[in-house]
Amino acid sequence: MTAPKSPTPSLVEYVEAEIIPRYDSFDRAHGTDHVRTVIRRSLELAAHYDVDTDMVYAIAAYHDTGLVAGRERHHLVSAEILAADSRLARWFSAEQLAVVCDAVEDHRASSKRPPRTIYGRIVAEADRQIDAVTIVRRTIQYGLDHYPALDREGHRARCLEHLREKYGEGGYLRLWIAESENARRLEELRALIRDTPRLDRLFDRLFAEESAAQAASPRE
C-alpha cells in the first residue's frame, strides 16, 4: 500500500483553525476525536486510488459540520456549509467543489443510494468505524447526550435497537471500499449483537464509564 499523501499545509491550517473546532459543540459521539479519525481513515483509503488528497481531506473535515442544525438533515446542511465557504476557492476549482459537496451529502450511512463518486465512497467508508467497542460506546454517548430522561434499561434497549437496525443482518449500513477491513469487522460486530450476554456485559461496562465521564464534565 502507498503511504497516505498529506494535504496542502495551508488548507490544513485553515481547517484546524476554523472547521475542526466546530465539532467541540457536538455530542461526544461526533466530537473532534470522531472527525480526526474520519480524516485519518479517509486519507489511508485514498492512498489506494488516484484521487486528489486535498478534496478527500476537505470532505472528511466538513462531513458532520451540519450537525449544528440537527441530525436528520446534517449531511445536506454540511454540504451547504461547505458550498458557502468562499475561502475554499483558494484551494479548489468550482468543478472540484461540486464533487466535494456531492461527497459530503453522500456520506450518510442511512442513504438509500450509493455515493456518486469515489470521493463519496472513500469518506462514507471512513465514517463507518466498525469497531465493536467504539460503536457501542458512541451509541451510549449519543443516548446520554440526546435522551437524558432514559434510565439504564432504557439506554440498553435503545442501544440494542440501534445496533440491530444499522449493523445487524439486513441492517441499513452499506460498505463501499474493497480495501477497507470493515467487512470482516462487521461480521465480528454481528456476532457480538447475537451474543446477548456478552453484549450486555460490554454495555454495562461502557455505560458506567460514560455515565461517570458525563457526570465529571457535563456539557452545557
The cell for 187 is 461480521
Half-sphere exposure for 65 (CA within 13 Å, toward CB): 24
The total of structural domains in the chain comes to: 2
Which are the contacts of 31, defined by CB distance < 8 A and separation ≥ 6?
23, 24
- For position 110, what pLDDT does the model report? 67
Residue type at 75?
A: H
| Residues 61, 147 within the same domain | no
Q: How do residues 54-103 score in pLDDT, each as one tens digit? A: 999 999 999 999 999 988 789 999 999 999 999 999 999 999 999 999 99
Nearest to 90 by CA among 146, 172, 18, 171: 18
How many angstroms separate the CA atoms of 28 and 111, rounded?
23
Report the 10 Å Cβ neighbour count for 51: 18
Average pLDDT over the chain, rounded to an integer: 92
Domain final position from 127, 158, 182: 127
| Residues 15, 29 within the same domain | yes
The cell for 35 is 472527525
| Residues 151, 88 within the same domain | no
Residue 4 lies in a domain: no
Q: Are 65 and 81 in contact (CB under 8 A)?
A: yes
Domain that holds residue 183: 132-216
The cell for 51 is 484521487
Domain final position from 112, 127, 142: 127
- For position 218, what pLDDT does the model report? 60
Q: How do residues 155-196 score in pLDDT, each as one tens digit? A: 999 999 999 999 999 998 888 887 888 888 999 999 999 999
Average pLDDT rounded to a whole number, residues 17-39: 93
Torsion, Cα of 168, 69, 144, 133 (10° steps): 40
| Residues 26, 114 within the same domain | yes
Q: How do residues 114-138 score in pLDDT, each as one tens digit? A: 899 999 999 999 988 789 999 999 9
> pLDDT-derived band of residue 1, with 50, 70 and 90 as boundaries?
low
| Residues 66, 148 within the same domain | no
| Residues 51, 137 within the same domain | no
pLDDT at 23 over 60: yes
How many angstroms separate the CA atoms of 203 and 139, rounded?
10
Three-state DSSP class for residue 109: coil
Residue with cell 458512541: 138
DSSP assignments along 14-44, one per residue: HHHHHTGGGGGGS-GGGSHHHHHHHHHHHHH
Residue type at 162?
A: H
How many angstroms separate the CA atoms of 69 and 71, rounded?
7
